[in-house]
Chain A
Amino acid sequence: MTTTAPDFVMDYDDAVGRFDPALGLEVHVELNTASKMFCGCSTAFGAEPNTQVCPTCLGLPGSLPVVNAKAVESAIRIGLALNCSIARWCRFARKNYFYPDQPKNYQISQYDEPICYDGWAEVEVPDDEGVLRTFRIEIERAHMEEDTGKSLHVGGATGRIHGAEYSLLDYNRSGVPLIEIVTKPIEGAGKYAPAVARAYVAMLRDLLRGLGVSDVRMEQGSLRCDANVSLRPTPDAPLGTRTETKNVNSLRSVERAIRYEITRQAAVLSDGGRVKQETRHWQETSGTTSSGRSKEQAEEYRYFPDPDLVPVAPSVEWVEELRATLPEAPAVRLRRVSAEWGFSEAELRDVVAAGALDLVEATVSAGASPQSARKWWLGELARRANTEGVELDALAVTPAQVAELQGLVDAGTINDKLAREVLEGVLAREGSPAAVVESRGLAVVSDDGALGAAVDQAIAANPGVADKIRAGKVQAAGALIGAVMKSMGGKADAARVRELVLERLT
């Protein structure tokens, strides 16, 4: 039954003042392998329905699954990056259930023998004073499984399963390799719990992107998060009854959904009620969760080892080979760039929050100073991206071009104002910064002949200002420099103009 009446919720500060939240996060990652987990069908996103299916992923009689070596490799690399132990020997299991998103009536997953187990990761969250606090997240396991097909529910009011007359199934996604990463209970985060969860998912996204194992597009479902939330009166009390919130498909939603569940459960508990163990669905538009399947009866999936698949036994040599391919861990990288760039904590945090770390780093490698790289990506370019409604890395400018642009400013070829015009040309795909300077005629004029004439003209037009400077008020020169810049369309070399003005009047 769907609850439509609004939930009672408690004020967030009251809720976390009276209860201690504990979280458990389950993140599903679709791997970016070319083919599926157990068959050769393509995993490409967005194909016509049921065009990427075969007897194996349709579960037709007589078909046999064979595991994708690349998917096992990615699973191990993810586990290593999360400081997990890697199983020497593990099996796949059948998770049996009746639901048409899996045509076999079971999903191939792993049960009590996950390929990766006992890991940890660290995330940093700013506290109320803006000081970064480190939280350690224990990883219970990361295991391999296959994704399900996509359902389209017909006849219901909102395309939801409730009230639908029938459903339509597209099995293109069925069998796409998934890694499920499960945390141990995250305790002790108190009021920062929602922010810690968000930071964890963001960290995972960056880590997985760095590993190159997934597209990690939350909006396309290649990274999905289920959030378990429970409350207890004090941190030393046993864990309370939890709810599992699904359909949380953006970083912002992770934080909002958990925050909402905390306020909802706090209201239930403080009213003397008990939290029902159930699946809830995050509703992005209303910013609330709604009751879904009740889990009062533990689900009976009747797991057993899949007899169609043989065990996976990664050799120590292979695991060590893969360990050697790991990129720098996000936390280690942050510490390194923080030291190299000399950014303040707030500056670095802003770069990370804007998703500009890769871009700034690439710009610095291309020769720009860290501060100028930061200034471009978080200033003018962030504004552009915001206006166009795209991510920073989707802008039509490369880190190398930004470094080149800053190089032109540093060399005095252009000033800051002209640089913005040059950037506009680059974004309009007119060519490299140097080419745009050339084609648009944007280089500053530092030629004394042209500048001298403009300076003389400005002095003649502003006799009062000129008198002040002659009387020793050098700071009044700014007005004349402004006049020269105006007459030269912003292309005058301001420093040289200043020298020329003072030469003439002092």
Chain B
Amino acid sequence: MALTPNDVADLARLARIELTPDELAHLAPQLDAILEAVAKVSEVAADDIPPTSHPLPLDNVQRADVVRPSLPREAVLAGAPAAEEDRFRVPRILGEDA
């Protein structure tokens, strides 16, 4: 399937990971090898075997609509890199070009 450095650049952009051209060239063949290995599964899986999305043969695991206590706010915000007015403070969302 030959994953190109351009494909990897697209994925990196979607994952918000900054990669140099050297890194892209280095990673593309490695990721390609992984994909090829995984693709072997489709060689043995016949059409009547649905893709597995969950390892346990369960469905309809549901909870009753009952309110349970939430975390204390101090505990909630203690994990935040920055907080202000009892809210999580995050950096500017849209860049200059947005």
Contacts and interface: CB of A to CB of B under 8 A. Distances in A.
Contacts of B61: 66-67, 309-310
Interface stretch (B21-29, B36-44, B71-79): B71-79
A257 B94 CA distance: 25
A103 B63 CA distance: 22
Contacts of B67: 34-35, 40-42
A310 B62 CA distance: 9
A52 interface: yes
B66 A169 contact: no
Interface string A5-47: 0000000000000000000000000000111000111100000
Interface in B67-98: 67-71, 73, 76-77, 79, 84-94, 97-98
Interface string A46-62: 00111111110010100
A302 interface: yes
Contact of B88 (A42, A54, A168, A307): A168
Interface residues of A, number: 57
A161 interface: yes
B42 to A, nearest CB: 16
Given A70-B65, A166-B90, A166-B92, A49 B53 contact: no
B90 A167 contact: yes
A307 B71 contact: no
Nearest to B63: A66
Contact of B71 (A54, A161, A300): A54
A107 to B, nearest CB: 15
A396 interface: no
A1 B58 CA distance: 48
Interface residues of B, number: 36
Contact of A66 (B62, B87, B91): B62
A66 B14 CA distance: 28
A302 B14 contact: yes
Interface in A151-210: 151-154, 161-162, 164-171
B18 to A, nearest CB: 13
Contacts of B97: 1
B70 A42 contact: yes
B91 A53 contact: no
A310 B93 contact: no
A68 B85 contact: no
A313 B60 CA distance: 6
Contacts of A58: 71, 76
Interface string B4-42: 000000000010100000000000000000000000000
B70 A52 contact: yes
A72 interface: yes
Contact of A40 (B63, B76, B91): B63
A347 to B, nearest CB: 41
A50 B84 CA distance: 12
Given A167-B90, A168-B87, A35 B66 contact: yes
A314 B60 CA distance: 8
Contacts of B90: 100, 166-169
A71 interface: yes
A310 B70 contact: no
A40 B54 contact: no
Contacts of B98: 162, 293
A51 B85 CA distance: 13
Given A41-B67, A168-B88, 4 more contacts: A50-B87, A67-B61, A72-B62, A91-B53
> 4 smallest A-B Cβ distances: which pairs?
A40-B68, A70-B65, A168-B87, A305-B53
